Chain A
Amino acid sequence: MKNSQFFRSTAGITLMAAALIVLPFVAALGGQAWVRILDFAILYVFLALGLNIVVGLAGLLDLGYIAFYAVGAYTWALLASPHFGLHLPIWVILPIGGLLACLAGVVLGSPTLKLRGDYLAIVTLGFGEIVRIFLNNLNAPINVTNGPQGITLIDPVTFGDFKFSGTTQIFGIALSGPQKYYYLLVALAILVVIINLRLQNSRIGRAWQAIREDEIAAKAIGINTRNLKLLAFAMGASFGGVAGGIFSAMQGFVSPESFSLIESIMILAMVVLGGMGHIPGVILGAVLLSILPEALRYGVGPIQMALFGKMLVDPESLRMLVFGLALVLVMRFKPAGLWPAPERKRESGEIQQVTAK
């Protein structure tokens, strides 16, 4: 029996790997825009998994997560663009970006250790805004970030001579820029998933979950809640930092408006919608929420034409409306998320039974 289970999981993994490899080519049939949308979806998977450590595992409501992403993005932008004339290689920048973001996580974490629930939420929100405001204004007296003008002509990811921008031929297959980034992102995302999985079942992960369920009880059984909370912030932040670096390289341009509060809220929505603390759920949430608005961009117009024969409502305004409704409906009918962790499922099921009486 053990054997067949092993066989099944290998088969499953092989199948998934094959699907992941083929996906960008399938998407490319619909145009490179879809590959780019996929890239962003995976980037969001990355971010959502990072935030999941803080919110899902340790139960700390963080509304300023985008700040770490911004730190990573600006680190890359400053170290690999004509702005300072620096063009450092990826294995220097990405670790620096991750480290700086990690540091920012500790800086945010330490004064907020005592705060709970909504108070923590508003402070982290404030922190996110503070970072954005500094990025937006640090062009004077010394020009560090170039202010609202942003930084242009940022270097793409390169390994030696292999560039991630533009099309290259590998083994006779033409790979476009977005497709190459896709594979890089998938590789990184798999790494993050593995780290997340290992963390979840480790002593640290269990301690986080203990803090999430009952902080006082966790303290009572000898868990160092202060250090562990800081660690959660630091770990989550460094993922954000690495994702930011890739974003910066992929876009070739960063400006503070990419790091607004609404982005933090979106990432939180991904985590909660998918199923807090449950890795497959979070991945699902991130993919759905990043693809849905773009899919609606393609879908809303033609559907109206097909149904009514004319455009009744501006497709652009309808798009966000449908998106908002989808958020409400999913949460309304699946309060624990689309794919919640097994324990959570049990928990919410019990509650439903109680209320049903």
Chain B
Amino acid sequence: MRAKLSVVALSVAAAFTLSACGQKEAPKQAATPAAPVTPAAKPELVVKLGHVAPMTGPQAHLGKDNENGAVLAIEELNAKGMEIGGAKVKFELLAEDDAADPKQGAIVAQKLVDAKVNGVIGHLNSGTTIPASKLYADAGIPQISGSATNPKYTQQGFATAFRVMANDVQQGKSLGEFAVKQGLKTVAIVDDRTAYGQGLADEFKKSAEAAGIKVVASEYTTDKATDFKAILTKIKSTKAELVFFGGMDAQGGPMAKQMKELGIKAKFLGGDGVCTPEFMKLGGPATEGQFCSLPGMPLEKLAKGPEFREKFTKKFGAEIQLYAPYVYDAVMVMADSMKRADSVEAAKFLPMVGKTKFDGVTAMIEFDQVGDLKGGAISIYQYKGGKLEYVETLGGANPVDSVKADVKEAVADVKDAAKAVAGAATAVGAVAVGEAKEAAKAAAEAGKDAVKAGAEAVKSAAEATKAAAEKK
């Protein structure tokens, strides 16, 4: 018995020495980034970025996906070799697990604050992002989340909180608009009673009801459930034309399957949580013809999308699950802001994060005053033949915004042109600017078709000036 006891004692002691070692090492590591603030002395500047997502628990697969996105971005940045303040920058990723638990989220956040990270990417869940954001805000560390979509995250009034993804309000609204466009009269809504699912379902409900769609059933499940037959049977009796689901793929897939088994003919529509390869895998043939939405434009439609997908699958030997491109962009935005500020110090580059205009994989990233993605476009997809097929892009603000971006570009180009060409050219340029601005305003107010027409006009004008300025 005594021998056994000593084994326990030893192992406990060992565990403690382990932790003690970890403790000692932590401050040493933390000391490194603080030192090279004066870059002249050291040729290499280490920039630490924290990344937080659940690596254990039911959402661990998404957590790993996020982390992969960040790892890819960091490796590319290092391979490219960025220079800030005259020193070569080396990015390091401190990846942490919050298990999607708010308490652990706060502890991990504190750990990152202690490690004096220059910026934080994450967290994945809104539930952990919100309490953690307070700690980052107090420490003045910029935080960009690629997946926390709860509107509250940025509404707390923290200057450090940003996200590169449309929030639940924007997405729920667009999904509602889509349902209206399909000419539907009745919908049933299911949500998984998580912050994400409930938020999305509520926004969808609002926008659908505002457009005169009747919500014939509001049912609920949990994010751990596998059996939905009871609520689906009830939905069947209401003869809804569409079932909207606010929740994740692990529930959405089986739900679509069970709808089919119960002989429900209604279409299935969900948000980004079910716009994953996993959804199709889990739902099988029942996912055919179902709809889902993703913030931003489809990767295939984006200039850098297919390239990103290729890089990602080649490196990790896995399909992109969901948020990896957004997390990748979040890292890039952080690095880009540092470059523009010519400093890696949070206090100096934080203002530049707000002024970001970065052409990322997922979108042209710009933030509004609270730190939300400006005019986040929402794209609708349909599962067809085992693939996600792009249907259309919604979200009102987006087409107008892209036009605005074009107009701005035109304005900038015109200005350059104006500088180069003197006299009469200046006058012409100025007029063009004025016209372009007005066109944009009018376009924003008029319907989308008008916008397109206006935009084309502006574009052609811009192209003319571009040609003149011999710019890109």
Contacts and interface: CB of A to CB of B under 8 A. Distances in A.
Same complex for A and B? Answer yes
Interface of A: 29-34, 36-37, 40, 136-137, 139, 147-150, 152-153, 165-166, 178, 251-255, 257-258, 291-292, 294-303, 314, 316-317, 319-320, 322, 326, 329-330, 333-334, 352
A314 B55 contact: yes
B118 interface: no
Interface of B: 1, 4-5, 7-8, 11-12, 15-16, 18-19, 21-27, 30, 55-56, 96-97, 100-103, 106-107, 110-111, 113-115, 127, 130-131, 134, 138, 150, 152, 156, 193-195, 197-199, 220
19 contacts: A30-B24, A33-B107, A33-B113, A36-B106, A139-B198, A147-B193, A148-B193, A148-B198, A257-B127, A292-B15, A295-B15, A295-B19, A300-B18, A301-B22, A302-B25, A317-B56, A319-B56, A319-B97, A322-B15
A320 B56 contact: yes
B103 A178 contact: no
Contact of A251 (B15, B22, B106): B106
Contacts of A297: 22, 96-97, 111
A319 B127 CA distance: 22
Given A252-B134, A255-B195, A294-B107, A30 B26 contact: yes
A33 B110 contact: yes
A253 B110 contact: no
Contacts of A36: 106-107, 110
A238 to B, nearest CB: 22
B195 A258 contact: no
A136 B193 contact: yes
Given A31-B111, A316-B55, A253 B130 contact: yes
A329 B8 contact: yes
Contacts of A33: 107, 110-111, 113-114
B156 A153 contact: yes
Contact of B18 (A34, A149, A299): A299
Given A147-B198, A317-B55, A31 B27 contact: yes
Contacts of A254: 102
B19 A296 contact: yes
Contact of A30 (B1, B23, B56, B127): B23
Contacts of A34: 23
A37 to B, nearest CB: 6
A34 B114 CA distance: 9
With most chain B CB atoms within 10 A of its CB, the pick from A33, A294, A314 is A33
Contacts of B18: 295-296, 299-300, 302-303
A191 B226 CA distance: 46
Nearest to A31: B114
Contacts of A298: 19, 22-23, 25-26
A333 B8 contact: yes
A316 B97 contact: yes
B23 A149 contact: no
Contacts of B152: 149, 152
A295 B8 contact: no
Contacts of A29: 27
Contacts of A319: 56, 97
Contacts of B22: 295, 297-299, 301-302
Contacts of B8: 329-330, 333-334
Contacts of B5: 333-334
A153 B158 CA distance: 11
Contacts of B4: 333
Contacts of A299: 15, 18-19, 21-22
A126 B419 CA distance: 75
Given A40-B103, A302-B21, 4 more contacts: A31-B30, A166-B138, A251-B102, A322-B15
A165 B156 CA distance: 17
B372 to A, nearest CB: 16
Contacts of A334: 5, 8
Contacts of A295: 15-16, 18-19, 22
B15 A326 contact: yes
